[in-house]
Structure 1
């Protein structure tokens, strides 16, 4: 997988490696200061963690799937930016909208590659993710108030994204795992915001989020360039 992405021999390998390392370094640095008060450095590191991935698909090809994948990374980075900004309650909705767009771009990339899950493990995992998403919404519904519709719409989209990832046999198991980690990250955020504080919320959310995005990025780039 890594060789397919970073050792293409087209003169751009060093740039690809540098972008990936900058992304990882930003993610580690952000986790190290995540517990601190909001600051420009904290916001910048959070945004840069996925932001550095945006050029990677564009360095691999100019076909539509590469552009859509770059857009998925871009809107994820925008979502991180909005959620990192404090002082304006509207930023949560802006972040939610940016991540919803990101999931739609992910779906657009993955849907042509998807088929029905072909193993019992994938079928069971898909069923568990679907039941878990419904259970999460049912548990949150009494506390959502005016947020019922936007949170419900977001939940449907991220669920479709995860199920689509799990329906790509060539991407298993890392692509599906990445999508499931993404769902777990957002679920912890929702529980913490609308139900009750989640212990160790910061590291749980960031590790599952960045790990999920990284696994999805590597898997999809490998599939698209092969």
Structure 2
């Protein structure tokens, strides 16, 4: 099964993508992982991407598309994959369709995780990270530390990342609305989109997503 997961920042795409991929036995392919893998392995695409990233510039679509194509051609993706963060715009969506059409394949489903904008801001702006270990993450409302500003696990200082600040989050949402949201209409025209509420317990959202997938048996 070939699935695309879309939704605004803070919708929980990474969490749901990992859970869905595990449930379905297919690889989770995220843009961030593609960049990290290609850069660490020193591939030509990775070197080209790093040149742009060092200058603080956006990586061109052709490089991202090339990385995604290479990853989807790996043996573990022969029976399907779950895409998270790619395609990010209409040009990438059209390129993905072309890649799949060339090998006689197509997407089976596009799951659109829906979250109210105020909730997105609350989720992201409330996060606090531990300076000593970034895997220790808290939230001022949902998972507050026992002592304000102090990590429960190691006692490190908790802080708010610059890209988690409310003004930055709202700018990220503007980019999502202008660049990524149009691909939802693109796939709706193909009859592939199911919109799901991403509110509630993580396990509940996962069950909603699994129930929305087509029966390809």
TM-score normalised by L of structure 2: 0.30
Q: Is the helix fraction higher in 1 or 2? A: 1
Bigger relative contact order, structure 1 or 2 (CA pairs below 8 A, ≥6 apart): 2
TM-score normalised by L of structure 1: 0.29
